[in-house]
């Protein structure tokens, strides 16, 4: 019987794991891996969605790109209702602490229930604020564009966002840290007027939405929406629809099929709508419809 010889154990091989939500590689980050809590996972690329993981920044959502503000973006922020009434020295201090957030179409900025950390001003593009109902339906609360701000009272209370925010187009946002605003209010309480002004404008917009839903027909709501896009003083115009028709329907409190019926009714007033624009032959006739009584005079216009 031959004596046994001791052989040192071979080092364990790293078995190749199947691609999963934790290890799947993207074309842009195929060679960049990082360890989080002992699990191998891709590093966060702008625009990628990652599964939730304890301690992982931007867990479960896209990672926005943050940059410094340009002179043009600072100018847009200064013209917003939030900054327009602030003294120049306070405005400049807040913008020095701010940064630019770039989002792609469909990218989520924050979700319902997230802690508010910043006040946002749209520098370019369109942002959608919405909530998801228990039955899964999406309720569009507002659509923001260049120069408009959102999240002021929530961020200053450091509360949870009551809505979600998503970019409906490629979008640039000026993000002002809530901490910087709170520090300024402690030393310069008169700056609170700008917050009250912006909050009042948001409240007024919500009141107008309720009025439209309660007292306006679908055709009238669409007419008012198109009139907002028309150049001032024009008798005829061709306007570009700023976002897709599904979002237009959501903003106006309508279903997509109801929006299609409203567009069909407006054809009798000389409004021709295609995929991305609307040709209006008579702005005055559209104004008559928008100002008519929803249940009385409107039937005479259509």
Task: Round to whole Å and give the CA distance between 29 and 43.
Answer: 7
Instruction: Answer yes or no: are the C-beta atoms of 156 and 181 closer than 8 Å.
Output: yes
Instruction: Answer yes or no: are the C-beta atoms of 102 and 65 closer than 8 Å.
Output: yes
**75: helix, coil or strand?**
helix
DSSP annotation of 242 reads S
**141: helix, coil or strand?**
strand
Instruction: Answer yes or no: are the C-beta atoms of 46 and 58 closer than 8 Å.
Output: no
Task: Round to whole Å and give the CA distance between 302 and 222.
Answer: 14
Measured in degrees and rounded to the nearest 5, phi and psi for residue 196 equal -65, -40
Instruction: Answer yes or no: are the C-beta atoms of 66 and 176 closer than 8 Å.
Output: no
Instruction: Answer yes or no: are the C-beta atoms of 40 and 20 closer than 8 Å.
Output: no
**296: helix, coil or strand?**
coil
Task: Round to whole Å and give the CA distance between 44 and 199.
Answer: 35
- Give all domains of the chain, ordered by start, each with its CATH number: 65-211 (2.60.120.10), 216-301 (1.10.10.10)
Euclidean distance between the first and the last CA atom of the chain, given in angstroms as a whole number: 107
Instruction: Answer yes or no: are the C-beta atoms of 212 and 290 closer than 8 Å.
Output: no
Instruction: Answer yes or no: are the C-beta atoms of 250 and 140 closer than 8 Å.
Output: yes
Give the residue from 215, 213, 102 showing the smallest Cα distance to 167: 102
Instruction: Answer yes or no: are the C-beta atoms of 196 and 137 closer than 8 Å.
Output: no
Per-residue pLDDT of the chain (302 residues; tens, 9 = 90+): 555 666 666 655 655 455 444 344 444 443 433 333 333 333 334 444 444 433 333 434 545 555 788 999 999 999 888 888 888 888 899 999 999 999 999 999 999 999 999 999 999 999 999 999 888 888 888 899 999 989 888 888 889 999 999 999 999 999 999 999 888 888 888 777 777 777 777 777 777 777 766 668 888 989 988 998 898 888 889 998 888 888 888 888 888 899 999 999 999 888 999 888 999 999 999 888 888 764 444 444 44
- Which token pair is 17? 């794991």
């Amino acid at each position: 019987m031959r004596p046994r010889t001791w052989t040192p154990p071979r080092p364990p091989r790293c078995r190749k794991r199947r691609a999963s939500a934790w290890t799947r590689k993207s074309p842009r980050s195929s060679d960049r891996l990082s360890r989080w809590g002992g699990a191998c996972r891709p590093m966060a690329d702008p625009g990628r969605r990652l599964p939730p993981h304890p301690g992982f920044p931007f867990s479960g959502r896209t990672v926005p790109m943050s940059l410094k503000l340009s002179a043009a973006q600072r100018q847009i922020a200064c013209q917003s209702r939030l900054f327009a009434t602030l003294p120049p020295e306070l405005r400049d201090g807040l913008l020095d602490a701010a940064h630019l957030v770039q989002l792609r179409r469909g990218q989520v900025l924050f979700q319902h229930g997230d802690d508010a950390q910043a006040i946002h001003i749209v520098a370019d593009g369109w942002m959608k604020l919405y909530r998801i109902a228990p039955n899964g339906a999406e309720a569009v609360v507002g659509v923001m564009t260049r120069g408009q701000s959102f999240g002021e009272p929530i961020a200053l209370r450091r509360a949870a966002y009551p809505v979600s925010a998503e970019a409906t187009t490629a979008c640039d946002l000026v993000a002002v840290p809530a901490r910087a605003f709170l520090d300024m209010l402690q030393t310069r309480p008169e700056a609170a007027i700008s917050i009250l002004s912006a909050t009042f404008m948001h409240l007024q917009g919500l009141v107008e939405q309720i009025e439209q839903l309660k007292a306006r027909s679908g055709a009238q709501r669409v007419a008012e929406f198109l009139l907002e896009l028309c150049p001032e003083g024009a008798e005829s115009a061709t306007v570009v629809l700023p976002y897709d028709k599904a979002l237009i329907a959501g903003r106006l409190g309508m279903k997509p099929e109801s929006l299609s019926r409203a567009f069909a009714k407006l054809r009798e007033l000389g409004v021709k709508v295609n995929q991305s624009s609307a040709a209006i032959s008579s702005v005055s006739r559209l104004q008559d419809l928008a100002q008519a009584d929803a249940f009385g005079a409107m039937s005479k216009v259509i």
